[in-house]
Structure 1
Amino acid sequence: MATAGMHHLRRRDVVHYADIEPRSNAFVGWERVRHRQAHWFVECAAEFMGVFFYVYAGVGSTANFLLGGAAGIAGLSSMFQIGAAYAFGILFALIVCAPTSGGHFNPVITVCLTLLGKFPAKKAPRYIAAQILGSYVACLLIYVQWYDYIKEVTEVLEASGKLEAVMFTPNGPAGVFALYAPTGVSLGRIFLNEFVCDFLIGLVIFASVDPTNFGATPATGPWIIAFAYATMVWGYATVGIATNAARDVGARLMALTIWGLPAGGGSYAAIAALTNFPATICAMLFYTYVLSDSSRTVTPAWVDYFAAHLAHAEHSQESHGRVGPHNVAAADNDSVRSKASHQQVESV
């Protein structure tokens, strides 16, 4: 829905938090800076934290599964738990961080929204940088927290003469963080696996943020998206999937930081990092030109959702001296459109 059209929505009376909750002068001063000079910083911080959430949850569960098993500690984790951990990490990211940044949490979602004209191209590079950094920092922190177990497993593998053969595989210590091709599986089959999974996830994402879809409201969208990822992890992670360039590139950079060039991943690294771009763009085009229909009606839940975002934009701009409500679209058209139209777009 275009921003200009949003100004004609019939809106119920809105109550702003500032109207019912007293704010200190210091907080009012910070919000003035936040909405004028620092809006780019808080948006990037939200993208950073969103990716951090799901990588911290998913990779942490993977550490339980691989390192606990290698150390002989039974029952710590399972593939089901890993999928569930990613799902809840995505859910937390959307609920906590999406209201601030729009909830991309994946470079390809940022690229898709830019191609659709729903996100400003000038903001895309810093969003992508923040997403990758979120993954990198999450993996570094997990490495520190699991360091004793990583050291123990590494020493056991080294003593058995298996370290070199196992280290940079899906079952090795580095495989907790960076993704590596499963032994014996062709890269062509891995590419197919990645493409199909990413395409289906993309369809679910775009269906979940379609304001004419009565089966997906703003409240249920995060759950639907989260479990789309979990389903792919449960069914196809063993063959090899990454699903998100931010998760893959950030984690691979972390592995390179710790273990050097051998952690690079070879030819598979390109498949893991890049396949989700053509797959998700194909999903966007398929949903846009085959499954969506602009003659459908916008659901009441989405009308309220758009209206609330427009009211937020008007209030923040009036309160902090940017412009009056009649000039909201001209003053911050990109921000209003990207957040109000596609706040729940996500992808891991």
Structure 2
Amino acid sequence: MVPNDNRLNRLDTVDDRIEVGVSEALQKHVTRHVVPPPPVSQKKLDFEHRRPRILREMMGEATGVFFYVFPGIASVATFTLATTNGTGALLGVAAFGGIYQIGIAFGFGIAFAIITCASVSGGHFNPAITICFALFGGFPWKKVPIYIFSQIFGAFMAGLVLMGCYWPEIQAAKAIDIHEHGTAVYNGGVASIFCTFPNPNQTNQGYLFLQEWFVDAFIGVVIWSCLDPANPFVTPVSVPWTIGFAYTAMIVGFAANSISTNLARDLGTRIVAAIFFGGEAFSFNHGYSWISILVNIPATIFAVCYYELLIRDSLQNIHKGHAEHEHGEEGLVRHLTRVATSDVGIINGAVKTNGITDSPNAAYSNGTAKREDVV
């Protein structure tokens, strides 16, 4: 906006007249259209209060998994249907994409799921993560079956909706697959839009197990590190994208070699594949589906145990105010005294930290009692 005393000078050229006119128009537009939000009615508050909390949590988990799975399998559908029979005739376009495209779609989907629904349900979106929260995070065990059901249901609905969106193309691709291969259930077949099937040369399930295990463990460590309050490299804003990029990295690296990464994502859409393409969706390759469905849980538990046993520093969480000692300040002081005693001994009844003789209470009150400070 140009000040009034300079207005005449600024109107010497057409460009200046445009600048002044646009500025004034924008200011009037914003002033005219910015309306304060209406007050929240008591009726709305009463309605929200009557909603069962567990229902909100269930819908949060189901919706989050839907947001994660739907864009991912839609990306798989675009690639698969555009290349079926090598003609591109089913979608009418050439295939622009591949594993990288699919990895980005799943990664962004996970980020959107966390951003949209994590504030409602906690953002598990994975049965293995729910079980790990119950084992290590105090999550109620009575909610575990409910959460897992909701997660599988969300993936199932994502598969059904995608089937409806691509129904004509999927049916055409199914006819081509059956004509050329006798089945649509194989890696690259139209059924592989919904769930994972190994490559024809992957007949050794030991290799498939090992691959799934380490991919899921990799993702599990990243997730658990993002949830560690002592981690200085992540913020609540960056967590969705960090976890999403971890999934993207694994999909880009291993999806061409058959991975699942999530029980709910695989089982929910595999049920859809079984409904429309037959029970072979579960029995393919001598029952490979048990790997894609079940390995996720023990692999993620292994990852969390690895982080908790070898990486976690609970003392840092206490110092940052994210946790407290089970026996309060007195218990923390006893711990620091015990650590100091084992490391350097007691000198005249005082703890020596960084060459400074002081008492444990003083060290704690000054915020200097860190594990790495006790030398």
- In the alignment, does 2:146 pair up with 1:126? yes
Deviations 1:251-295 (A, max 9, x none): 111111112212223421000001111111011001001001111
State how far apart, in whole Å, the 2-side matches of 1:77 and 1:212 are: 39
Structure 1 segment 254-293 matched on structure 2, within 5 A? 254-264=272-282, 265=284, 266-293=286-313
SS for the counterpart of 2:123 is coil
Q: 2:106 matched to which residue of 1?
A: 86
Q: In structure 2, do the counterparts of structure 1 residues 258 and 156 end up closer, same or farther at CA, with 3 Å as the change threshold?
A: closer
State how far apart, in whole Å, the 2-side matches of 1:203 and 1:89 are: 20
CA displacement at 1:22 relative to structure 2 = 1.6
Q: 2:250 matched to which residue of 1?
A: 232
* Maintained 8 Å contact 2:99/2:256: no
SS for the counterpart of 1:139 is helix
Deviations 1:172-193 (A, max 9, x none): 0111102112211121111111
Q: TM-score scaled by structure 1?
A: 0.76
State how far apart, in whole Å, the 2-side matches of 1:254 and 1:75 are: 25
Structure whose alpha-carbon radius of gyration is higher: 2
Percent identity over paired residues:
38
Residue of structure 2 aligned with 1:214, choices 219, 232, 236: 232
State how far apart, in whole Å, the 1-side matches of 2:156 and 2:226 are: 28
Q: 2:193 matched to which residue of 1?
A: 176
- In the alignment, does 2:160 pair up with 1:143? no
Give the alignment's Cα RMSD to 1 decimal: 1.7
Q: 1:68 matched to which residue of 2?
A: 82
* Maintained 8 Å contact 2:177/2:189: no
* Maintained 8 Å contact 1:97/1:103: yes
CA displacement at 1:248 relative to structure 2 = 0.7
State how far apart, in whole Å, the 1-side matches of 2:205 and 2:239 are: 33
Equivalent AA in structure 2 for residue 225 of structure 1: I
Equivalent AA in structure 1 for residue 60 of structure 2: A
SS for the counterpart of 1:22 is coil
Q: 2:221 matched to which residue of 1?
A: 203
Deviates more, 1:252-261 or 1:168-177: 252-261
CA displacement at 1:123 relative to structure 2 = 0.7
Residue of structure 2 aligned with 1:43, choices 37, 57, 65: 57
Q: 2:66 matched to which residue of 1?
A: 52
State how far apart, in whole Å, the 1-side matches of 2:160 and 2:288 are: 22
CA displacement at 1:297 relative to structure 2 = 4.5
Q: TM-score scaled by structure 2?
A: 0.71
Residue of structure 2 aligned with 1:25, choices 42, 54, 68: 42
* Maintained 8 Å contact 2:65/2:265: yes
Residue of structure 2 aligned with 1:250, choices 232, 252, 268: 268
Equivalent AA in structure 2 for residue 138 of structure 1: A
State how far apart, in whole Å, the 2-side matches of 1:65 and 1:298 are: 49
* Maintained 8 Å contact 1:110/1:128: yes
CA displacement at 1:298 relative to structure 2 = 6.5
SS for the counterpart of 1:296 is helix
State how far apart, in whole Å, the 1-side matches of 2:288 and 2:101 are: 25
Structure 1 segment 336-347 matched on structure 2, within 5 A? none
Q: In structure 2, do the counterparts of structure 1 residues 216 and 256 end up closer, same or farther at CA, with 3 Å as the change threshold?
A: same
State how far apart, in whole Å, the 2-side matches of 1:292 and 1:130 are: 30
State how far apart, in whole Å, the 2-side matches of 1:143 and 1:76 are: 21
State how far apart, in whole Å, the 2-side matches of 1:157 and 1:220 are: 42
- In the alignment, does 2:168 pair up with 1:162? no
State how far apart, in whole Å, the 2-side matches of 1:103 and 1:44 are: 11
SS for the counterpart of 2:315 is coil
Unaligned runs of 5+ in 1: 1-19, 304-348
* Maintained 8 Å contact 1:213/1:299: no
CA displacement at 1:21 relative to structure 2 = 6.2
CA displacement at 1:163 relative to structure 2 = 3.3
Deviations 1:28-70 (A, max 9, x none): 1112213xxx100010000000000011010000001111111
Unaligned runs of 5+ in 2: 1-36, 323-375
State how far apart, in whole Å, the 2-side matches of 1:216 and 1:229 are: 17
